[in-house]
Structure 1
Amino acid sequence: MRRTQSRYMLASAGLAAVLIAPGALAEKSSPSSPLWSQANQYYDPVEMAKAREELLAEGGSQRAWFVLFNQLEAQLGHNEDSFYWNGQASYGGDINKIWLKTEGKSSLEFGDVDDAEIQALYSRAISPFWNAQAGVRYDIEPDGLAHAVVALQGLAPYWFEVDASAFLSEKGDLTARTEFEYEFLLTQRLILQPRVEANWSLQDVPERDLDTGLNSIDAGVRLRYEIRREFAPYVGVEWQASFGRTADMIEAAGGKAEQTVLVAGVRTWF
């Protein structure tokens, strides 16, 4: 028992030395590093390799999954009431992950799905607070269109959550989306969350009612109460607006280019 503990302590000491030494990341990645494998001088290298593997598993190299629906809400407007969802899930380690993202809107009155998309992305940490992502997006509605995706997701200074994505469709159209969120902790359970989403297009896409430049902005604020950290109902208000010829095309089709909606929903994760 004492020999096993000694091996584990030596493996821990080797890991600590790697983490605090200059050039630690480069040395840590090398199996022949004198810092990482110095205990091999005293114990069987095979046994020490197993001890280091167990140490890494207990120290943060585990694979983990996470599912978050940031918005599951009813949006109550002047002309039509809608159900909106915005969620994401991830699986992987600290550096490499697989992400799934989904967003969409349907009519509460008729049940018709107006917009629905899903993204599958590979994500790699490029700094302590930022992930670079790449993958594919498929628009289930309105027209079954596929896109290539590159994205940057993380925390900006002062703890602003940022998700910026660029999309290249199979038809060659280039669009982009930027999302910004912030959380004001009024109490430990009562949280005010401003959120802004902006959509852009590099060219006109008439079949999607998109004009060149900034097409639309959804800017809102939600006040939630965390009954549990994993379950938080909220209420709020959101301003939704389209611009330029995008607004003209929406109004010509009988839609509303600008409106303010009341929202009520739940934020949940597990």
Structure 2
Amino acid sequence: MALIVVYLARGYCRPNLFINISGTLIKIALTTTVLLLTAAQSYAVEINDEIQGSVSLDELEYLEEDQSTAWSSNFSLATDAHQLNLVSEGKRTSDGLEGHELRAYYSKALSSKVGINLGWRGDLNPGASRDWFLLGVSWKAPYELEIDTSLFAGSNGRLGLRLEVERGYQIMSSLLLGAKLKANFHSENDIQTGTGSGLSELELGLRLSYEASPLFSPYVGIVWDRPYGKTAHFARADGGHEGNAQFLMGLSLTF
């Protein structure tokens, strides 16, 4: 994994091995996910473990500077050790949809702190769409850090890597300060999606939320994001920004 990170960061990785197999991986990812969920359901029935469903709108926020709306939502079916997730994340500006990402994946808890994810990711961008096979690891690290690392395999040998690190600080009984870092790496330049090789994007965010109830939390915060390398070049050519900090306000809902 460390070697892959180095190659992706430098933009030198040319995984010809994936050219012929990544398309097949993408096609079987959803089928595998469904089969694994079926196995999980059979297992749950065997041990009388109840399957529970939940819908959460983790982030629905308005960003002040570019007057955009962003969201992150999750639908899940889960037992104690197995979970199926459907995640939707995106952003809409006054000019229309800027980007939309869907992820459908199966999660298996290996221990109380480590889990693996397997499934599909779809980038539903206005200019071009991309499909990826998804393989990830979730880890509850020391110091209450939550770390998610995902490796993506796309068509034509494309590889992607995403690192997400989150930490929550309980300020008062109803006040929580959440800190989040997200970094995206890619092995190839993709002109159609405006994505460059190496480190493509970095995002840092702070959100202060008030837990009005277990199901509803309004929040305010600030988010800073910046494209790097060829991604920044593509953004400039398209009239986009090269990095800025924005004030935001939003809410989180659980159904």
Give the TM-score category using the shorter length: 0.7 to 0.9
User: Residue 248 of structure 1 aligns to a residue in which SS?
Assistant: helix
Find 2:114's aligned residue among 124, 130, 147: 130
Q: Any stretches of 5+ residues in structure 2 without a counterpart? A: 1-43
Contact 1:167 1:174 (C-alpha < 8 Å) held by counterparts:
yes
Give the corresponding residue for 1:114.
Answer: 98
User: Residue 127 of structure 1 aligns to a residue in which SS?
Assistant: coil
Letter paired with 2:86? L
TM-score (norm: length of structure 1): 0.73
Find 1:66's aligned residue among 14, 37, 54: 54
Contact 1:137 1:147 (C-alpha < 8 Å) held by counterparts:
yes
Letter paired with 2:184? N
Q: Tell me the CA shift for residue 118 of structure 1.
A: 0.9
Give the corresponding residue for 1:5.
Answer: none
Deviations 1:186-232 (A, max 9, x none): 11101111111111112222222222211111101011101002100
Q: Tell me the CA shift for residue 161 of structure 1.
A: 1.6
Give the corresponding residue for 1:16.
Answer: none
Contact 2:206 2:221 (C-alpha < 8 Å) held by counterparts:
yes
1:141 and 2:141 equivalent? Answer: no
Find 1:105's aligned residue among 84, 87, 91: 91
TM-score (norm: length of structure 2): 0.77
Find 2:81's aligned residue among 95, 106, 116: 95
The separation in 2 between residues aligned to 1:132 and 1:178, in whole angstroms, is: 14
Give the corresponding residue for 1:43.
Answer: none
Q: Tell me the CA shift for residue 256 of structure 1.
A: 0.6
Give the corresponding residue for 2:191.
Answer: 206
Q: Any stretches of 5+ residues in structure 1 without a counterpart? A: 1-52
The separation in 2 between residues aligned to 1:253 and 1:62, in whole angstroms, is: 50
Give the corresponding residue for 1:76.
Answer: 64
Deviations 1:45-83 (A, max 9, x none): xxxxxxxx99x54xxx21112222221101112xx2111
Give the corresponding residue for 1:39.
Answer: none
Q: Describe the shift of the 1:69–1:161 C-alpha distance in structure 2 as closer, same or farther (beyond 3 A).
A: farther
Superposition map of 1:249-264 within 5 A: 249-264=234-249
Contact 2:125 2:193 (C-alpha < 8 Å) held by counterparts:
no
Moved more, 260-269 or 145-154: 145-154
Q: How many residues align?
A: 211
The separation in 1 between residues aligned to 2:171 and 2:217, in whole angstroms, is: 14
Letter paired with 1:210? T
Give the corresponding residue for 2:3.
Answer: none
The separation in 2 between residues aligned to 1:221 and 1:157, in whole angstroms, is: 20
Contact 1:173 1:205 (C-alpha < 8 Å) held by counterparts:
no
Which structure has the larger Rg over C-alpha atoms?
Answer: 1
The separation in 2 between residues aligned to 1:113 and 1:204, in whole angstroms, is: 22
User: Residue 131 of structure 2 aligns to a residue in which SS?
Assistant: strand
The separation in 2 between residues aligned to 1:173 and 1:70, in whole angstroms, is: 29
Contact 2:189 2:230 (C-alpha < 8 Å) held by counterparts:
no
The separation in 1 between residues aligned to 2:156 and 2:120, in whole angstroms, is: 14
Q: Tell me the CA shift for residue 87 of structure 1.
A: 2.1
The separation in 2 between residues aligned to 1:244 and 1:165, in whole angstroms, is: 21
Moved more, 139-148 or 112-121: 139-148
Contact 1:193 1:221 (C-alpha < 8 Å) held by counterparts:
yes
Give the corresponding residue for 1:42.
Answer: none
User: Residue 245 of structure 1 aligns to a residue in which SS?
Assistant: helix
User: Residue 203 of structure 1 aligns to a residue in which SS?
Assistant: coil
Q: Tell me the CA shift for residue 267 of structure 1.
A: 1.3
Q: Tell me the CA shift for residue 99 of structure 1.
A: 1.2
Find 1:158's aligned residue among 139, 143, 147: 143
Moved more, 241-250 or 181-190: 241-250
Compute the RMSD of aligned alpha carbons. 1.9
Q: Tell me the CA shift for residue 147 of structure 1.
A: 1.1
Moved over 6 A (4+): none
The separation in 2 between residues aligned to 1:123 and 1:201, in whole angstroms, is: 24
The separation in 1 between residues aligned to 2:137 and 2:194, in whole angstroms, is: 26
Moved more, 223-232 or 132-141: 132-141
Q: Describe the shift of the 1:154–1:88 C-alpha distance in structure 2 as closer, same or farther (beyond 3 A).
A: farther
Letter paired with 1:246? T
Find 1:230's aligned residue among 205, 212, 215: 215
